[in-house]
Amino acid sequence: MRAPQHVPADNLPSHVTIYEVGPRDGLQNESTTVAVQVKAEFIGRLAAAGLRVIEATSFVHPKWVPQLADAEELLDRLDRVEGVRYPVLVPNERGLDRALDKGVTDIAIFGSATETFAQRNLNRSVDESIEMFAPVVARARESGLDVRGYLSMCFGDPWEGDVPIEQVVSVGARLLDLGCSQLSLGDTIGVGTPGHVTALLGAFAAAGVDTESLAVHFHDTYGQALANTLAALQAGVTTVDASAGGLGGCPYAKNATGNLATEDLVWMLHGLGIETGVDLPALVETSVWMAGELGRPSPSNVVKALSA
């Protein structure tokens, strides 16, 4: 299987952590229920391909995301690999209770930079959502869990339009102040461009936020995800969210098409000489298999090229 030629570039990190979101963010919007044994095998294959952070599921109420109603059963079925983290999304204290009951060690909360999406996704204002998250983060930290914060609509909102950079920094800083160890900046509808990425990351730095505590989460709606990722790497970011095979969207934002494909990201990173620990052929094989389970081809360009 062909591999990219290694041609390093200046001012880039030597290693990037890929935060794999396919099993949760990638599958949550599927209209057809994916069998729990398929999900478990998917996660196992991703771990075997070298991914070391794999977001497994969410403890959101099944009414809101039916696809993830099998969260407890899925965690019971996982053949955990040493050195692999399996974070889960936790919306509130009830979700945290479920996570603690299952011995989860890594959780994530999901906030919004805009009021409209906060109301649509969480049925709360931005302030109210942060109030809801505060005891979740505090209890999780007291229990020794790592907590990640997602911040959606950082680059644009389908209802509110452009989102001021200072607004994103303000809400993001509040999530970090709660005790999140990392903040993932989401381009939920994929409208961001590289200059916007550079400006936003620069604004966080100016506000005293260490770049090491930031991650990026790009959607490829307008074909900008890889370009935006490169801009983030140049700004010092070393954690990038991606979804195997380019799976995913957002059930609360119809403009949100698939996530950045993990294979496309790995091809670029390996071409730049950046270490990921990922076996690209094994990952492509996994996404081809998953595409077969879903009954449609993968949208990832690298998957299509290498599996032709």
Q: Which residues are catalytic?
A: 250
Start-to-end CA span in the chain (Å): 10
Structure tokens at 271: 């071409």
Q: Where are the beta strands (DSSP E) in the chain?
A: 17-20, 53-54, 57-58, 88-89, 106-112, 146-152, 182-187, 214-218, 239-242
> Tokens 């996994």 sit at which residue?
286
Cβ-based neighbours of 119, under 8 Å, separated by 6 or more = 125
- What is the three-class DSSP state of 97? helix
- What is the three-class DSSP state of 93? helix
Angle between helices 36-48 and 280-294 (to 10 degrees): 170
DSSP letter string, 236-278: T--EEEEBGGG----TT-TT--PBPBHHHHHHHHHHTT-B---
Count Cβ atoms below 10 Å from residue 252 Cβ, excluding itself. 17
Cβ-based neighbours of 139, under 8 Å, separated by 6 or more = 93, 96
Q: Please give the Cα distance from 214 to 176 (Å, whole number).
A: 10
CB 30 within 8 A of CB 294: yes
- Which of the 8 DSSP states describes residue 233? H
